[in-house]
Structure 1
Amino acid sequence: MKFSNTVAALATAGLATAHGHGHAHHHKRATETETVNTGPVEYSFVVLDPSKSGAPEAISINEACQGLADHKFEWLDTAVAAACSSSSTATPTSTSTPAPTSTIAPAILQETLAAITPSSSSSTVEPTSSTSSATAAATSSSSSSSSSGATGLTAEFPDGEIDCGSFPSEYGAVALDYLGLGGYSGIQYVTLVDDLVSDIVTAVTGDECHSGAMCSYACPPGYQKSQWPDTQGATGQSVGGLECKGGKLYLTNPGHKQLCIEGVGGVHVKNQMSSDVAVCRTDYPGTESETVPLSAVSGATHPLTCPDGDTYYNWKGKSTSAQYYVNPKGVSAEKGCQWGDGSEPIGNWAPLNLGVGYTKYGKFLSIFPNTPTTTKKLDFNVKLVGDNLSDECRYEGGTFYDSKGAISGNSGCTVGVTSGDAYYVFYE
């Protein structure tokens, strides 16, 4: 019987100062513009075997590319064929009898970084009850100056009624006042040419959301912003948030009336240490700076937002996932979840990244180093545990491990989750 194995290629964008997709953003610095360039794209692969109900199994790029060369696999489509064509590790070999043809799925998660494997423990972790102050504030009812009578996360946002300088907290968004952007997580001043964004300048502390700007915002843990325009950057830059026109805020994705929408759920951070940890999501689509905060409180479990790759933002037709930066223990979210200068291993210079995504094949979770930005090691350990993980994956003592032991090249690990809950556990 012929089975058609599907291999998902997870595209990895390694950046010097931020993450991205091979494009550049401009970050405004007083009177000059600085271009932040991205690094090379890397890939990791997951086998999806129909005979095992699609249960994912991580494999190396060598195994994937050699399997293609030996005709054991074939691309579901050719979206990321460059993953192997650019690799010198796999070369075709001749076989007298071709192996059964399988199928390789392309870059299902365009934003998930590095290859990864699951936790050292496959035991199920029961969640503990934890509600962050940000969640409580966002879900509580509050009075509104608009005609909508906003009631937090469930409130429909009224186009053209709210001043651009008035942050829409009463509609579920979480104000980040410490960034100095009027509560917004990022502001992009865009230039439109022929229905494409030809130029993007990213605001810095002290700038405002005003006409001509895209004004992005954070949501409580477990939620993500719902707004981004169809019009994106001409060279692949992402743009997101509410649009400021004529001094008023407008939806850019009117199919969603609420500003914050839930992810698929089932992914959590469990902090078993005595110190709090700042876990920072990239503002994506948008500035792609790690400004969306989660304060992982000591002894508590928190939801980690996992976007649905089939319905959330698509980059050039490819599904995307979420990327998180893990700061050293004791660093506050206010300090760690913003652009850094490299003087400390925090923010975009934090030592460790998490990749979280979902497709029809299940969830894909990863742990990987923040290279080539930094070679610093995190001052605690991280492991993945859960109900149904495809492998082990842990970061311990600065080294990555899967079920086979230490990972060659220390490049990180990725696991698939077909059902149940999964937990990133922080421990010493």
Structure 2
Amino acid sequence: MKYAIVFTILTAGLSLAQPHRHAHRHAHVDKRSPTADVVNVPGPTVVVFELNGKTISESDVQQGLKNGTLKWAGDGAFSVAPSSTVASSTSAPSPIISSAKPTSTSIYVAPTSSTSVAASTSAAASSVAPSSANAAPSAASYSGSSLPDANNVEADFPDGELDCSTFPSDHGAVSVEWMGLGGWTGIQQPGSSGDGGFDDIMTVTSQTCSNGNCCTEGSFCSYACPAGYQKSQWPTKQGATGQSVGGIQCVNGKLRLTNPSLSKKLCMTGTEKVSVQIVNKMSQNAAVCRTDYPGTEGETVPLDAQPGTTSNLTCPDGAHYYNWKGAPTSAQYYVNPKGVSVKDACQWGTAARPWGNFAPLNLGVGYSAGSAWLSIFQNAPTTDAKLDFSIEIVGNHGGYENLSGRCKYENGQYCSGEHYESCSKTTGCTISVSSGSATFIFSS
């Protein structure tokens, strides 16, 4: 006999007694126990997640728990039948974080040397069984590049002219249809706003959209940009307790820029001081997914590195991009096993497959203090799965002269040193480059 379990998910901060009938929709990740309605049924265990009376997917639950917009209802712990597995949400690691250890996972501070550094995390390790990196992509995977071309990426956005139901694919944004949000990578709805910032921030799920229209009045709607570009829009006012908020906003039924002083375009390039690329020398694609930050912080911004191609990789300039409480931020990319489509890879996954937030490996990329800092590191503690191909950072003309050192992942190890003599299965590596180019070489 097994159990059908319904996990009721409350929006974060909801008072159980609700004496004033004011439901708060956001707080820090405050996991509370789900209330479980247990019914004896034959057959396999079924896990259902419910939000405000509507069923939502496990991936939406994981995203909400990670970014703090959801919490478990109840008193803190939950149990499931032995045959059922529910993966606990973990924060993605950042290769370099400030000594203040903020809760944000994308804070970037340049290291004082180019020696190898261990990947850090703001979350406690989750107990997750190792996954094989050889799992095959789903039958629904796209063949070839599944990303639409960007249109008019260099044109100014028609601020206040497009209806909120219109995704701005003709104005530089790349539609991410598999998220089920009308092309948006993530949508946030602040419940309140004060001098200290937004509070009660709810993450919109595909199941809660009305007739497919997800970017509704007051929402901040985030989007992907083509390779070599990054989102330029986020409001000056951010979360009251450190939550990040990103995207353009639906105001009076029209899409409005939220950061026009930075750019009147939806997408912008990173630093011009250093050029960063990915070269895929394999016979299969490699899905590389950037964290949507500022925003929901899901790994939903896709780059589809096709076989035999070179792709630009955006390197944010810390002095001219999003700052979290005054600290510059870098970009974090999740690298998935070869052959997995961006549709499967660039969204929240499960421990059953090393995709999405369970991808084996991360790249850290950012420009600060006169140099670009590039890292390769394990996606710990989320997974100890190993990537099934090699990655090496090379400099101008395939050499190393303009790099501060060497950094490579191969056969499950992260190696540095002049002859790659210093290797570790757990500790990543970082190099810096002040000019010229740096390339991540993907090879079998």
Do the two structures share a fold, i.e. TM-score over 0.5?
A: yes
Q: Shift of residue 170 of structure 1? A: 1.1
**Structure with higher RCO (Cα < 8 A, 6+ apart):** 1
Q: Shift of residue 192 of structure 1? A: 2.4
1:186 paired residue number: 186
Question: Which of the residues 47, 52, 65 maps onto 1:35?
Answer: 65
1:347 paired residue number: 356
Determine whether 1:262 maps to 2:274.
Answer: no
SS in 1 for 2:157: coil
SS in 2 for 1:197: strand
Deviations 1:368-407 (A, max 9, x none): 0000001111111111111311111011001110016233
SS in 2 for 1:407: strand
Q: Percent identity?
A: 51
Residues of 1 paired with 2:50 and 2:428: CA distance? 34
Residues of 2 paired with 1:174 and 1:154: CA distance? 13
Q: Shift of residue 133 of structure 1? A: 8.1
SS in 2 for 1:178: helix
Mark the CA change 1:44 to 1:175 in structure 2 (over 3 Å): closer, same or farther: closer
Is the 2:118–2:426 Cα contact (8 Å) retained in structure 1? no
SS in 2 for 1:348: helix
Residues of 1 paired with 2:215 and 2:92: CA distance? 33
State TM-score, norm by structure 1. 0.69
SS in 2 for 1:298: coil
Is the 1:281–1:323 Cα contact (8 Å) retained in structure 2? yes
Residues of 2 paired with 1:340 and 1:330: CA distance? 16
1:366 paired residue number: 375
Q: Shift of residue 24 of structure 1? A: 4.2
Is the 1:400–1:412 Cα contact (8 Å) retained in structure 2? yes
Q: Shift of residue 116 of structure 1? A: 7.0
Residues of 2 paired with 1:40 and 1:379: CA distance? 20
Residues of 1 paired with 2:187 and 2:357: CA distance? 18
Residues of 2 paired with 1:248 and 1:162: CA distance? 6
State TM-score, norm by structure 2. 0.67
Residues of 2 paired with 1:216 and 1:406: CA distance? 41
Mark the CA change 1:181 to 1:260 in structure 2 (over 3 Å): closer, same or farther: same
SS in 2 for 1:368: strand
2:249 paired residue number: 243
Is the 1:25–1:201 Cα contact (8 Å) retained in structure 2? no
Is the 2:330–2:366 Cα contact (8 Å) retained in structure 1? yes
1:316 paired residue number: 325
Give 1:224-303 correspondences, 5 Å limit. 224-255=230-261, 256-264=263-271, 266-303=275-312
Residues of 2 paired with 1:235 and 1:40: CA distance? 19
Residues of 2 paired with 1:154 and 1:338: CA distance? 27
Is the 1:116–1:366 Cα contact (8 Å) retained in structure 2? no
Q: What is the letter of the counterpart of residue 419 of structure 1?
A: S
Give 1:152-171 correspondences, 5 Å limit. 152-171=152-171
Residues of 2 paired with 1:188 and 1:24: CA distance? 16
SS in 2 for 1:170: helix
SS in 2 for 1:310: helix
Residues of 2 paired with 1:203 and 1:407: CA distance? 43
2:117 paired residue number: 115
Deviations 1:174-226 (A, max 9, x none): 11112110111111111223131112221222431101211001100000111
> Which residues of structure 1 form unaligned runs of 5+?
1-21, 46-79, 84-105, 118-131, 140-151
Residues of 2 paired with 1:305 and 1:383: CA distance? 17
1:391 paired residue number: 405
Give 1:118-137 correspondences, 5 Å limit. 137=149
Which is further off, 185-194 or 365-374? 185-194
Which is further off, 342-351 or 198-207? 198-207
Mark the CA change 1:316 to 1:223 in structure 2 (over 3 Å): closer, same or farther: same
Residues of 2 paired with 1:204 and 1:41: CA distance? 24
Q: What is the letter of the counterpart of residue 184 of structure 1?
A: W
Deviations 1:143-192 (A, max 9, x none): xxxxxxxxx11222222211111001111111111211011111111122
Residues of 2 paired with 1:40 and 1:336: CA distance? 15
2:226 paired residue number: 220
Q: Shift of residue 25 of structure 1? A: 9.7
1:410 paired residue number: 426
SS in 2 for 1:244: strand
Mark the CA change 1:191 to 1:169 in structure 2 (over 3 Å): closer, same or farther: same
Residues of 1 paired with 2:255 and 2:362: CA distance? 33
Residues of 2 paired with 1:134 and 1:39: CA distance? 27
Q: Shift of residue 254 of structure 1? A: 1.4
Residues of 1 paired with 2:94 and 2:284: CA distance? 33
SS in 2 for 1:334: helix
Mark the CA change 1:283 to 1:82 in structure 2 (over 3 Å): closer, same or farther: closer
SS in 1 for 2:344: helix
> Which residues of structure 2 form unaligned runs of 5+?
1-26, 32-48, 54-60, 69-89, 102-107, 120-144, 397-401
1:86 paired residue number: none
1:419 paired residue number: 435
Residues of 2 paired with 1:273 and 1:316: CA distance? 41
Residues of 2 paired with 1:39 and 1:320: CA distance? 16
